[in-house]
A and B are shown apart, each in its own frame.
Chain A
Amino acid sequence: MLDDAVYREFEEVVGPDNISREPAILDGYTYQIVFNPTPSPWLNRPAAVALPCSTEEVQGIVKVCNRHHVRFKAHSTGWGVFNAPGYEDMIILDLRRMNRILQIDENNMFALVEPYITCNQLQAEAMKKGLNCHIIGAGPNTSVLASCTSVGGVGWTGISMGYNCRNVLGVEWVLPTGEVVRLGSPGSGDGWFSGDGPGPSLRGIMRGLFGAMGGLGVFTRVAVKLFNWPGPKRIDARGLMFDIKAEVPENIKLYILLFPDMQRFLDATYDLGDAEIGWIHSRNPAGMLFTFLFPGLMRETAGRPAMRSAMESIKHMVSFGIAASSPGELAYQEKVVREVIARNDGVLIDMGKLPQFESFMLFGLMRSTLSAFVFRAGGNFASSLVGEETTDSGAPQVDLGVRIKQEYIDKGALIDDMADTVWGSIYENNLFAHYESLMTFDSRDPRQQEWIKVDEEVVDELIDRKWGIGIGLSGAGTVVHKKFGPHMCNYDKWQRRIKKALDPEGLSDPIGYTEPGD
């Protein structure tokens, strides 16, 4: 419970309409099922929820928190367990009123956005200026800022548009103690084109492979890189999803690439990376697509040997896209991809020959509208793996993830999706790869409460074999650090020190980051 006087101080900052302690409102910020390892959808109920509309209001709230030792956490779109309060008696800052694109710099290819601008919105506006943004795998309904500053950053356009951690330019940051810092060039009033310096880059404190998940204050603006978009300003489509009909521009090509085995998938991926072609590259095993698109059919047929055999034979499947700026570039990239496929004994399916499918997949891949299909099979999902190293290093990890997952499928703890639902994408022309093993389940089913055990087993084996780190256990937080830290130069010690330096009182919800310490 918040003291009435403290509540009034918060109220003075945001106005009475923009703060609430009504339990029914608070429960909206207490419920999370995605990546929630507990059987209950309810986590800690906060003491209040505020809706600041400006950096000044965010700062005002944080200062009140510091005056009265109240923990806080901010979120933008608020999806997933890491948005839930780590403790009771906290205040949640729902940043949805900070929803402006403040700038799209067409020449210098970046946008300055507030927290509640989604990938979808930014893409729609950027395309009007011949630009595009990397949409993360979690889907277009997620906050651009959050994937840049606070969470992950993977996605299907990583081959051409990178990883959002690395797409960050200037940042505006309300520190846990209430000071406002602008990282890089905006700190000196020089525009938002750089987030680094003077001197050392504090972006490295702001986040790493993952963001601090609300544990290091509140990010209120970010300048994010945009990339060339050679397509039209808007692709008009009729329909909502499966019925989408759109005219796919001539300079956009979409393919399904199939490989006979993992090695040839890997070799082709290296070739495509070296050739520096491609706009979209994502390993999407056929079983995964079938499970997401036809969950009913998969339920009926997943156990049948014929179905398994069919899916197994096309599991090394890649969605690949080209977006070319000239006929010459298009011709070159098409020629290369066909040659790469030929040399690696693959099969190339030109989606352009299947117009309805191409329309559907255009939005599916370009806008990541396919992402939320992960919920169709059973209503919930989780992930394991994520080596995030070389493309080659992922291959045995995929096998590991599939093997462990199959055990749980066999005992009914997960939905049978053929086990290999490891989607993978490459970044920056194959600088590194991300592999993520999805598992689908129905968290309403008492038998399907064990996804976290899959995660734990995968992580333990990855560590034992010294193969990689794994995304397991929701990616962050003290539990994860205890597991990973000793195997990774005790990085958790530095995080505790960072936390202590920036937030000695531990007010910015430490649950997804770490407690302050030495």
Chain B
Amino acid sequence: MALREYERDIRGCSRCSICKWVPFAQIKSVDCATVCPSISRYNFHSYSGGGRLILGLSLLEDRVELTEEVADIIYKCVMCGACEVSCKIYRDDIDVLRVIEELRFACVENGMMLPEHMMMVDAMKQEDNVFGEPKSARGDWAKDLGLKDINKEKADVLFHAGCRLSYDEGLRGVVRGAASILSDAGVDLGIAGADEACCGGRAFEVGYRGELEKYAEDFASRVKASGCSKLVTPCSDCYGAFKQLYPMVGKELGVEVLHVVEYVEMLMGQGRIRPTVKVPLKVTYHDPCHLGRRGEPYREWEGEDKLKRPSAFKMSGTRGVYDAPREILSRLPAVELVEMERIREYAWCCGAGGGVMEAYPEFNSWSANERVDEALATGAQAIVTACPWCERSFTDALEERDEDLEVLDLMELLARSLGSEPDA
């Protein structure tokens, strides 16, 4: 198995458990000191980043077999990458997340997939989306917005909605708002409509590397065919796939890839978006993993001894997108940002990633509730994020609770501040 390629990384683990903690200088309290949802929820060491390295070695040395029980451990991980950030502060020679991915590839290779993940991948194969919703309905969200159809006419910017925003009707305001904001700012925007396909990122995370490669191949050719100069997405999951996973499997899209918050920030800087309506709201911002540490651009390094790897090639999480959303928030009149303790590179995950939302909804909910608690502790009236998967997780978590906390995508909040909140 390819896991073998990471044996040196694995054998480097000192079992220090730094992977379980927020980077030390950023620990601000006893309650918000941990960073890994998996070890925090399941407690046995094997559920931590380091524990997963050890598990990898056990498999490589045939100390354990890849059983259903082992697969269960492997899959109870949101793949948020927080362990990688904390470990990388000290270690140049261990790529924790790559090992975690390899463990999942091994599960797929050995037929140890989870039924929920198989259903998801089957749905992708049939309908090009993770939900198994009709492919034909993919572009329905854009009805009446007057956006260009990239299949029929050229546009400077290709707007990729992603599976969640295309089909989650509860989040319709987010995607319509984002597209409208750009459109209203004069951006030459086009969408692929029913021909838009899944990015493949979620298949990759549950172990189907080949599926990602397939989608990446397909996506790259579509982008090329569209002639656009920029690819913009409001979905952090997709963003992470484009920025980190596609280069990892050797696929470059050949255009500038931006999350909508990056693009909006740029447009604000150019004066093309001017929020003027006061929205008196105390908000806290949740950094989506796939926009932040897992949205960090991947750069392949060919060397063998990672101790010699230049830092620019290290996936440390620091090159993710953290400032743009905060910059936007700072420009919204009357909006006050109060930060949670775990932010930026060391943000706590909503629990939706790594196939957890599909296979372990209770774990997803637990992780989201932890984050909601942290948000409530700031005194914020709203938790703002920039990823539909996060928003869905928090919204669902709050449905079970009697808390006065609004869940908003940053584009929804911006739309309010522009006085143009669209109907969903």
The short answer to whether A and B are in direct contact, CB under 8 Å, is yes
Q: Are B26 and A295 in contact (CB under 8 A)?
A: no
Interface string of B46-75 (1 = CB under 8 A from A): 100001001101100001100001100100
Report if B28 contacts A (CB, 8 A): yes
**Out of B43, B58, B318, which one reaches A51, CB within 8 Å?**
B43
Contact A234:B44 (CB < 8 A) given known A23-B64, A78-B17, A141-B18:
no
Report if A31 contacts B (CB, 8 A): yes
For the complex, give the distance between the alpha carbons of A121 and B46 in Å: 23
A-B CB pair tally, cutoff 8 Å: 155
Residues of A within 8 A of B28 (CB): 124, 234
Q: Are A20 and B30 in contact (CB under 8 A)?
A: no
For the complex, give the distance between the alpha carbons of A117 and B34 in Å: 11
CB distance from B77 to the nearest CB of A (A): 14
Closest A residue to B25 by CB, please name it: A363
For the complex, give the distance between the alpha carbons of A121 and B30 in Å: 5
Interface size on A, residues (CB 8 A): 61
Which of these binds chain B: A1-9, A266-274, A338-346, A367-375? A367-375
For the complex, give the distance between the alpha carbons of A510 and B85 in Å: 37
Within 8 A of B (CB), among A344-400: 363, 367, 369, 372-373, 375-380
Within 8 A of B (CB), among A181-233: none
CB distance from B57 to the nearest CB of A (A): 7
Within 8 A of A (CB), among B13-44: 13-18, 20-21, 23-30, 33, 43-44
Report if A89 contacts B (CB, 8 A): no
CB distance from B379 to the nearest CB of A (A): 16
For the complex, give the distance between the alpha carbons of A30 and B206 in Å: 28
Residues of B within 8 A of A34 (CB): 14-16
**Out of B27, B54, B55, which one reaches A120, CB within 8 Å?**
B27
Q: Are B12 and A379 in contact (CB under 8 A)?
A: yes
Q: Are A28 and B45 in contact (CB under 8 A)?
A: yes
Which of these binds chain A: B87-95, B122-130, B209-217, B383-391? B87-95
Residues of B within 8 A of A49 (CB): 44
Residues of A within 8 A of B16 (CB): 34, 79, 139, 141, 372, 375
**Out of B13, B55, B345, which one reaches A24, CB within 8 Å?**
B55
**Out of B17, B27, B57, B73, which one reaches A77, CB within 8 Å?**
B17
For the complex, give the distance between the alpha carbons of A439 and B339 in Å: 41
Closest B residue to A364 by CB, please name it: B25
Contact A372:B51 (CB < 8 A) given known A31-B57, A96-B43, A367-B25:
no
Q: Are B89 and A23 in contact (CB under 8 A)?
A: no
For the complex, give the distance between the alpha carbons of A100 and B15 in Å: 22
**Out of B15, B93, B308, which one reaches A33, CB within 8 Å?**
B15
Report if A57 contacts B (CB, 8 A): no
Q: Are A240 and B89 in contact (CB under 8 A)?
A: yes
Report if B307 contacts A (CB, 8 A): yes
Q: Are B30 and A241 in contact (CB under 8 A)?
A: no
Query: Contact residues of B with A, CB < 8 Å?
Result: 8, 11-18, 20-21, 23-30, 33, 43-46, 51, 54-55, 57-58, 63-64, 69-70, 73, 85, 89-93, 307-308, 316, 318, 345-346
22 CB contacts below 8 A, A to B, read A24-B64, A28-B45, A31-B13, A42-B63, A51-B44, A117-B30, A122-B30, A139-B16, A141-B18, A141-B21, A240-B85, A240-B316, A243-B318, A296-B92, A296-B307, A299-B308, A363-B24, A373-B90, A376-B91, A379-B91, A379-B93, A379-B307
